Amino acid sequence: MIRDEFPSLRGVAYLNTGTNGPLPRAAFEAMCDELERSHREPRIGRAAFERFLGDRERARAAAARVIAAQPEQMALTRSTSEGVALVLSGLDWRRGEEVLTTTEEHQGVRAPLDVLARRFGITVREVPADALLDAIGESTRMVAVSHVLWTTGRVLDLPALAERAHAVGAQLLADGAQSAGNIAVDAPATGADYYTVSGQKWLLGPQGSGAVWVRDDRIDALWPVLANYLGLEKGQVGEFKHGAARFDPGTLDPVTVAGFRAALEWVEGLPGGRAAWTQRTLDNASAARRRLAEDPRVRLAETQGEPNALIAFTVEGEDDTEALTLRLAEQNVLLRFIPGTPWLRLSVGAFTDPSEIEALLAAL
């Protein structure tokens, strides 16, 4: 029943949810309805504007539920990277202040940090994940890391990092691109000050969707760097909206917002809701790991932290992972390689069928 809602799964082994998840039929139909309405009906007038704002608030509330947060703590974004950039660019920095991160961060974290280093003269220090906790010191102003590392699927201990960071007066920014929708997330319980969400990956939304959570006591200290009419209270310049909606980057595409909202609500409406969806995802990942481990040519990356559905591995005798990924794609097996590392990476979902793992092993 679940797979019938994803036409894009037909004829392929879809093993790259960590880049883009398949779009469910409910999201596609919501996007088509929104686009068709904007063509058929006036996009002006009170009713049209109330519908436009109402769908944004439904999307905001649905995104909040994914990470056990409150809607007023959420800003809608167009990607996880945009959420990271909104936070990093919204703080007042002084030359020499240190941001600590890992050596395995995605460019969605590293690129905004590079801009800050060049613009304000801050120090960006990259350390191995194992050394992260001990590296937090008196000069650290922020720890900016992924909850789940995109390279190997390692899950970082955010509560421990938050406790150490707060003890020295630093803040914690968590990139949730590979966590929300993959594992159960309670953003407030992590101790993070900011937590980003990617829409198009594990949450099955369209490209250009996402959100960022801002802890209540951090909202007023963060500048809305993309200040706009919709972030103002009743349109009054100088009066930001209450809560994190002030950080929304302007007029997000209503079609994209509709798809994001519908994808989130569709999962919630399934038997058992998101909790059951997450558990099914983890069950499928465990089964995939067991099956891959049976192949003598496959070496799985060590799992650290809680289990999740992002699986990194190498194949004996296959050093050119980019070329191998292309050859697998020719056999309709879709996964990815991680540049600068020896890893191939597959990511499964609640919709993954055992036959897709068998297709990968047969192709190998």
Q: Is residue 354 part of a domain?
A: yes
| Residues 328 and 238 placed together within one structural domain of the fold | no
Domain containing residue 321: CATH number: 3.90.1150.10
How large is the average pLDDT for residues 285-290?
96
Q: Is residue 49 part of a domain?
A: yes
pLDDT tens for each residue of 81-93: 999 999 999 999 9
| Residues 96 and 210 placed together within one structural domain of the fold | yes
Q: Is residue 72 part of a domain?
A: yes
Res. 149: pLDDT tops 90: yes
* Residues whose CB is less than 8 angstroms from the CB of residue 78 and which lie 6 or more positions away in sequence, other chains included: 208, 209, 210, 249, 252, 256
| Residues 262 and 281 placed together within one structural domain of the fold | no
Last residue of a domain, one of 268, 290, 312: 268
Task: Count the domains in the chain.
Answer: 2
| Residues 284 and 264 placed together within one structural domain of the fold | no
How large is the average pLDDT for residues 101-123?
97
- For residues 293 and 192, what is the distance between their CA atoms, to the nearest angstrom? 35
How large is the average pLDDT for residues 196-204?
98
Q: Check: CB of residue 166 under 8 Å from CB of residue 132.
A: no
Phi, psi of 146 (to 5 degrees): -85, 140
pLDDT tens for each residue of 296-351: 999 999 877 788 999 999 999 999 999 999 999 999 999 999 999 999 999 999 99
Structure-token pair, residue 201: 């990956």
Q: Is residue 36 part of a domain?
A: yes
pLDDT at 33: 98
Q: CA angle at residue 283 from 180 to 155, to 5 degrees?
A: 40
Does the predicted model carry a pTM greater than 0.95?
Answer: yes
| Residues 286 and 207 placed together within one structural domain of the fold | no
Q: Is residue 227 part of a domain?
A: yes
pLDDT at 303: 78
DSSP state of 92: -
Range of the domain at 134: 28-268
pLDDT tens for each residue of 22-45: 999 999 999 999 999 999 999 999
| Residues 239 and 308 placed together within one structural domain of the fold | no
3-state secondary structure 234-297: HHCCCCECCCHHHHCCCCCCHHHHHHHHHHHHHHHHCCCHHHHHHHHHHHHHHHHHHHHHCCCC
Q: Check: CB of residue 360 under 8 Å from CB of residue 15.
A: yes
Q: Is residue 220 part of a domain?
A: yes
Domain containing residue 174: CATH number: 3.40.640.10
- For residues 340 and 347, what is the distance between their CA atoms, to the nearest angstrom? 19
Q: Check: CB of residue 154 under 8 Å from CB of residue 305.
A: yes
| Residues 42 and 112 placed together within one structural domain of the fold | yes
Band of pLDDT at residue 189, cut at 50, 70 and 90: very high
Last residue of a domain, one of 268, 289, 307: 268
Res. 103: pLDDT tops 80: yes
| Residues 70 and 182 placed together within one structural domain of the fold | yes
pLDDT at 32: 98
pLDDT tens for each residue of 201-222: 999 999 999 999 999 999 999 9
Q: Check: CB of residue 253 under 8 Å from CB of residue 261.
A: no
Q: Check: CB of residue 250 under 8 Å from CB of residue 244.
A: no
Q: Check: CB of residue 17 under 8 Å from CB of residue 348.
A: yes
Q: Is residue 23 part of a domain?
A: no
| Residues 165 and 200 placed together within one structural domain of the fold | yes
| Residues 260 and 277 placed together within one structural domain of the fold | no
Band of pLDDT at residue 1, cut at 50, 70 and 90: confident
pLDDT at 41: 95
| Residues 227 and 335 placed together within one structural domain of the fold | no
| Residues 314 and 245 placed together within one structural domain of the fold | no
Q: Is residue 348 part of a domain?
A: yes
Q: Choose the weakest-confidence range: 5-14, 182-191, 304-313.
A: 304-313
Last residue of a domain, one of 268, 294, 314: 268
pLDDT tens for each residue of 39-77: 999 999 999 999 999 999 999 999 999 999 999 999 999
